[in-house]
Amino acid sequence: MDNFDFTQFVTFDSTLPYQMIKDTVLKTFLIRGFTVIDFENIEEVKKDYFSSYWRKYSFELKMDDFLGGFMEWEIRDNIPIKVKEFIDDISEILTLSTWDLRVIICSFAEKEKTCNEYVCTKRDDMYGELFKMSPYSLVCPDNLIIKIMEEI
């Protein structure tokens, strides 16, 4: 397989032990219906495609219909419940002594055929960046990589 679609990733650095990180990521995202996949079990085509973005801890957050919520997101400030919950979950991960956290939203990825948009934003501005994945934003990149800037 040379391409893939409809998945999400979270990747970040932390000084906390792997098992503590993994347990928190599992607890946080499983209750929302995501399948959490450790980096070692992520398909090689995905690891390769996003290779320049990976940090120390990386997880795939698989939910086939997650991007479906973006298809009906017409007004930027009228945020779908799944997107709000996802940002709440990312905020939970940010409490784990993390830095350089990146969220990757993948609509469709194929080397040399699709484009990634990489942005840096504050946690409070994630909604505006995620709105880009809505067809109503008139931006709608193939893949969106959001680096969360640390608050000072």
Report pLDDT digits (tens) over 60-106: 999 989 999 899 899 999 999 999 999 999 999 999 899 999 999 99
Amino acid 1: pLDDT: 63
Amino acid 150: pLDDT: 75
Q: In 3D, which of 67, 150, 151 has the Cα closest to residue 104?
A: 67
Q: Is the dihedral of CA 50, 82, 146, 15 positive or negative?
A: negative
Tens-place pLDDT, residues 105-119: 999 999 989 999 999
For residue 141, is pLDDT > 80? yes
- Write the CA distances from 112 to 2, 79, 107, 123, 134, integer angstroms: 11, 32, 15, 30, 23
List all residues 6 or more positions away from 84 whose beta carbon is below 8 Å from its beta carbon. none
Across 39-45, average pLDDT: 97
pTM here is 0.94
Partners of residue 121 on adjacent β-strands: 148
Count how many domains the chain has. 1
Percent of the chain past pLDDT 70, that is, above it, reads 98
Partners of residue 147 on adjacent β-strands: 102, 120
Range of the domain at 44: 3-149
